[in-house]
Structure formats: structure tokens, C-alpha cells
Structure 1
């Protein structure tokens, strides 16, 4: 996962696929390309207040750690919420072992808008939280709220689903939209902060991160699922959010990436969606790409300095105090508008 500290995967065109705590960073470049001015099609308004409330609701359940009561309750709420908007909802339960030997019960949640549409776009996210704030300076074993890392992405997905569900047929987009929320994404081994802990999955065919997307990619639901492209949302709610063009995204989903970044620029959100190329990371999009869905990753990456992740990453400071409606609006409105562009 992007936010977790990962091991480098492979060199690609001289660039390392970066982990949360890379020894080396791929070269970062900025392009001064300005997207051409075009008239955007009419699209619904994304309500940032609603997305903020959805974020707060998830956080109020408590840390959504697999096997916990808060996790079960939040999952049930998400299922009910999508159903209340008239979406077709499926659940994909699975069991997995984490890097520290914990056996967990988890479930992926899939909600389909316009399930009859042949053309489809996938919006991915993860709804669990990391069980320990191992990057925190003082509370390394404390559970995390995961307000931006997890809840904000799910909140944006929920608000998009709510807005689309209110549109008459004459104002619906020309694509069906699948909201696919992965579980057990964040219980991975961080080689930087957890070097003294043994990764019991090392040497196996299972990455310690992204357990839900790994399962989904080999057990597609719906069966035989295909989409024109996918967008992974991750850490999209913090004040001053900065989203760069990550390498795996550029390599596998360049057309969709260009559409979304150019749409953001036309909407006036270039301060958030930066025309800056950065190295690859391990996140759920690695596995959705392997499943044949060209997927890009939108996640919070500091535009300056040596840090690859924001200060709140895997820390107890990832709480509602950092959530900003302006960032939620920039991401949500860009996503909604992009659905209306063929």
C-alpha cells in the first residue's frame, strides 16, 4: 500500500518502485504542461460537508481493525449506506493471516451503480485501519483513527454514490460505477519502523500489505469483472493534500491519469493535483492492475522535501483535526466530473 512502508519491488526504466521507507527515491519531475481549455460537460455537485460527515462517522466507530467490534459495525454501516442509495451491494468475506501471525476475518465490500451498464469505471479504496501507529514518535503501539488514511477515501466514494443516486436517468453518466472497498489493506510489515519484528509472510506468495485487494484480484467479484479504468483513492482528506503522478499509475493507466489530472486543472484544483511525477509505491492498485483493471492511485504525497508520506502517516495525528473539506471537495468534484467525460 502506498502509505505503508514497503520494500522496493523492481527497477523500471531506472526508477525504483518505492516503499513507505525507501532507501532511494525515484527522480521527481515537474512538467509545466497546461491542459487545453475545453468546455466541461455538466456534472452534479459534490458536497464536501456530506463527505466530511461520512469521514467523522467512520472515525466515531473507533479504529476499524479487523476482528474488532468497531470493524464489524462500520462494515455493516457501509453496506447499509450503499443499499440506501439503491446500489447493488455484494460482500466478499475472506480469511487471512497477517505478518505477525494473527488470523483475521475480513470482507471486501462492492457496490454497483447502474449495474446494467456495459461500460464501467471502478473506484477503489480501503476501509480498515492499521492496528498500530508505528510511525508515531510517542505512541507507537496505539491504534489509529485513520481519518485520512482510509476513512476519507471511503467518504468520497460514499458521497459520489449518494450524488449519482439522486440523478434522473437523463443526467446519469454514460458509465456504470463500481465502488470496491478493500479490507485488511493496512496490517502490513514496515521494514523501517518494525525492523525488529519478524514478517511471517516473508518468502511466501503473499504480500503483508493489501490482503483484501490480493484476494479480490484472484477471486474477482463480480465474476469476470472488467472496467475501462480504476481509480484508487487513499489519504485524500487532509489539509493541504498533494497528489502527484505516481509511476505505477503512469505506466498502467496513463490515459485515465491524464484525464483526471487535466480535469482537476480545469476545475481549478491544480494546487492539489500537481503535474509532478514521482516514483511507484505498493498499494492496492498494484493488484487491481494485475487483475487487468488499468488503475491509478490518488494519495497524499508531500511535494517538497525528503519525506515520501505526510507527517500524519501511520501516526495518532491521523484524526479528524487534519481533515479539510477543501481537500475532500477537490478530490470528490474532480472524480464526479471525470465520470461525465467520455
Structure 2
């Protein structure tokens, strides 16, 4: 993913955003559409999200090696994901595609769609990307090395997998009132970053194609299932690192502010407000840009706050994005919050 604003403008943008009247904690009552503006609904009984399981799902993906499109590790991990969802009893579809990357390479990608309760009319989509960036271009010592992508990629997939495992383990009488679709996008992280790759040519420039999020761009134009619709979607990206903080990203607020409020409010009620912070941040280019364009109102849960002069964590697109930064508490905060949101429907 990349920022939609240049870093020089971000501090000013953040000051303006945090000064806006709608930049309120979800526990305030200024907005009558906010769930917190009414009497607090009872929290329905939801399964307990198992952070140890999510951690192991993260480690399993990393064990294949960097999941870079066109690599053997990428194929093996994709096959494992498909088999895992099928073993859980979900209905699985694969969407293979070929896309040109910014450097001219033809990438063999595969989106993976796993459906829980496919017969349900009302649906919620959970999105994540399962590939890793092929070069650690922000790394000061190894900018050309591939990276594990433990957080940037694997953690979001792991949270979605553990949610699927919990849903599949429930008897029919204890499942949520909505169907859940887990859609994993490929080739999200093979994009051109002008701040680190100015010496390279972006061969997609002027072609009407964003160099990031190639899998979700393909899905947007060729939705699987055909004509797919959902009440809303939630994108997981970088949701497993120690000390993560999830701000309310701008495009999420513009396209699905009610969903932002619902998620942040639920997190607060569950005691996770240290993770889901009441801070508005500028927009970023991530898979939710294209799922929103596809007609699925989507929010992005992503570690996206000021880190000094940067707006991504220090490990972002470096070789430090490995299992040493993954934290069970963060995985649990995200997974339990979204499970509860599903059960509140």
C-alpha cells in the first residue's frame, strides 16, 4: 500500500482532520447515527478468538518463505490456504490472473475466495492480501532482499483464517445472522514507490493501472462470485505487530463511516481502545480503494499513524517484518473485535 498524500503535507492534513467536528471517539454522542448515540446494545455471545492459533497461522505462511508472485513459495502457500479453507468446510473458489507489474514482469496471481454460509442472503466480506513485497526497499542495509511479510500480509490472512475456523466450529444455532466471505487478494505489494525507487521506471505510469493492488483491481473488474454484493467489507492489513494502533483512515470514513463507528465502538466495549484509537488519518492506496469501487463499502483496519516523519511503522517494507514483531495481543484485539461485530449483525 502507499499513502495518497506526500509526507510533507501529512502533518498539516492530520491537524486539520483531528480538528474536524466528526473526529470524535465513538463513545461520544454528537452523531445520532453513531451506535454510541443510543442505549448500548447487549453484546451477544461470540466465540473466543484464539490468538495462539492466529499466531501459528502467521508462522505457517512465513515458513514457506517470501510469498512473491511467480515463486515456488508463493504457489505452495496459496495451495495451503486453499486446502485449509476447504478443510474448514468453506466453499472455495480460485481466481487466477496475469498482470504486468511496474517493472514489466508478468505476474501469475491468484485471488482466493472462501465462503462461510454461502446460502445466507446478507453477507459481510473480510479482505486481506496474501502476497509479500519482493524487495525490502525501505531497508537501509538490504533494500533488494525479499521479506517475510509476517505482518504485512500474513497477519491479516491469519486473522481471517482464525475467524473462519471459529465460525466453522459453531453449531448452526450459534452462527451469526450473516454469511461471511473471506477474499484474499494477490499481488497487492508489488507496487512502485517513488520515495525509494526513483531510479527505476514505472512502466505502468500513464496506463490507467495502479501499480499496487493488482489482485483487487482484477477482482473489481471480474468479481467472484459474479455480481457479488455484501452489506460491507473489512480489510485487514498489518494487524499483528506489537504496539500497533489502528486509526480511522480517510477513505474508510468517506465510504463506510457507519462501519468505522461500529468497529471502533465494539473495540472500545471489548477493552481494545488502546489498539483502535479515535484518531482520523489521511487516506492510503490499499485494496479497499478497489473493493469500494466494486460496490462493497469497505473500511481498512491498518497500523497507520505517525511514526516520527513516517506514517507507517519502522518495519514497513524492511527485512524486520518477521515473526519477531508479531504479537498475540494485537491479533486478538483485531480478531475478537471483528468476530463480535459479525455476531452483532
CA contact (8 A) 1:232 1:298 kept: yes
1:99 aligned partner: 102
Q: 2:24 aligns with which of 18, 21, 31?
A: 31
Aligned-partner Cα distance in 1 for 2:96–2:76? 15
Shift of 1:207: 0.5
Alignment of 1:267-278 (within 5 A): 267-278=270-281
1:228 aligned partner: 231
Q: 1:78 aligns with which of 70, 81, 105?
A: 81
Residue 297 of structure 1 pairs with residue 300 of structure 2? yes
Residue 207 of structure 1 pairs with residue 210 of structure 2? yes
Secondary structure at 2:7 match in 1: coil
Q: 1:146 aligns with which of 142, 145, 149?
A: 149
Aligned-partner Cα distance in 2 for 1:23–1:282? 17
Aligned-partner Cα distance in 2 for 1:98–1:91? 21
Q: 1:318 aligns with which of 303, 318, 321?
A: 321
Shift of 1:216: 0.0
Q: 1:176 aligns with which of 171, 174, 179?
A: 179
* Aligned positions, number: 327
Secondary structure at 2:344 match in 1: coil
Shift of 1:196: 1.0
1:187 aligned partner: 190
Secondary structure at 1:111 match in 2: strand
Shift of 1:303: 5.0
Aligned-partner Cα distance in 1 for 2:189–2:307? 25
Q: 1:62 aligns with which of 61, 65, 79?
A: 65
Q: Deviations over 1:242-287 (max 9, x none)?
A: 0000000000011111100000000000000001001011000000
Shift of 1:306: 3.0
Structure 1 unpaired stretches of 5+: 9-17
Q: 2:245 aligns with which of 242, 245, 265?
A: 242
Q: Provide the aligned C-alpha RMSD in A.
A: 1.2
2:312 aligned partner: 309
Aligned-partner Cα distance in 1 for 2:26–2:328? 28
CA contact (8 A) 2:246 2:277 kept: yes
CA contact (8 A) 2:130 2:184 kept: yes
Structure 2 unpaired stretches of 5+: 29-35
CA contact (8 A) 1:174 1:340 kept: yes
Aligned-partner Cα distance in 1 for 2:308–2:314? 12
Aligned-partner Cα distance in 1 for 2:339–2:241? 19
1:117 aligned partner: 120
TM-score w.r.t. the length of structure 2 is 0.93
Shift of 1:305: 3.5
Pick closer, same or farther for the CA change 1:32–1:87 going to 2, 3 Å: closer
Alignment of 1:147-166 (within 5 A): 147-166=150-169
Shift of 1:304: 5.7
Aligned-partner Cα distance in 2 for 1:121–1:245? 19
Secondary structure at 1:124 match in 2: strand
CA contact (8 A) 1:242 1:303 kept: no
Secondary structure at 2:53 match in 1: helix
Secondary structure at 1:317 match in 2: coil
Secondary structure at 1:253 match in 2: helix
Select the structure that is richer in helix: 2
Shift of 1:33: 4.8
Aligned-partner Cα distance in 2 for 1:53–1:33? 32
Q: Deviations over 1:299-342 (max 9, x none)?
A: 01235643200000000000000000000000000010000112
CA contact (8 A) 1:242 1:300 kept: yes
Pick closer, same or farther for the CA change 1:32–1:297 going to 2, 3 Å: closer
